[in-house]
Amino acid sequence: MTYKIAIIVGSLREGSLNRRVARSICALRNDNLDCSMIEIGDLPLYNQDLDADPPEQWVRFRQQIAAADGVLFCSPEYNRGIPGVLKNAIDVGSRPYGQSVFDKKPAAIVTASPGSIGGFGANHQIRQAGVFLNMPMMQQPEAYLGHVTDDSFDETGCLKEGPLKGLIATLAHAFHDWVDMIHRSRQLLAEDSAHAALQAKEHA
């Protein structure tokens, strides 16, 4: 089963390490994951006053997330937390209240940094938002990618062969299985309740 994955990168810069990690996941050509990078740099800052007549960029972003089977966050850490641009995208997708496009979407998080703790702080702040957003978050493998530099990538902008690429490949497979488990479970539960409803009608 192939699943549509929306990748949200928490860095806007051209040479972003995290964008290249995200690109590497797309380039694995895992035919079970159909990955699209969702741009967030053009999203106007969230302002509840605009909910009645939302900017077109918000509408486009919400539609892109709604159409996905799962969400992969790939982000740097800024000052031990979530970069503002990513937090804004999370806030935009989460509203209007009760209409969050993140609700029930299986998700996973990768954080990459040249530093040694691999964006641990940002990773867990995204995880914290995911709890409130009701996103079933993949627990393992955790991906705090430390010591990532330009040298980690080849001329095509993808991770060179090595342990980092190995971890990313493991994560991509685990994420597929996570999304698959959640979607199949929901389908089975829906079938069970349809069957139970039918039986109740027959015995009425």
Residues that bind ligand FMN (CB under 6 A): 11, 13, 16-18, 76-80, 113-115, 119
Smallest gap from Cβ 203 to ligand FMN, in A, equals 59
> Shortest Cβ distance from residue 62 to ligand FMN (Å)?
24
Nearer to ligand FMN, 68 or 112 (CB): 112
Write down the least CB distance from residue 17 to ligand FMN, Å: 4
Instruction: Closer to ligand FMN by CB, 76 or 130: give it.
Output: 76
Residue 131 tokens read as 């709890």
Angle between helices 17-27 and 163-202 (to 10 degrees): 60
What is the 8-class DSSP label of residue 14?
T
Q: Which residue's CB is nearer to ligand FMN, number 124 or number 176?
A: 124
Torsion of CA 148, 151, 152, 158, to 10 degrees: 130
**Closest distance of CB 79 from ligand FMN, Å:** 5
Locate 149 and state its tokens: 């530099």
Cα gap 124→121, rounded to integer Å:
5
**Residue 102 corresponds to which tokens in the numbers above?**
């993140």
- Considering the complex, state which of residue 93 and residue 119 has its C-beta at the smaller distance from ligand FMN: 119
Q: How far apart are the C-alpha atoms of 86 and 92, rounded to whole Å? A: 10
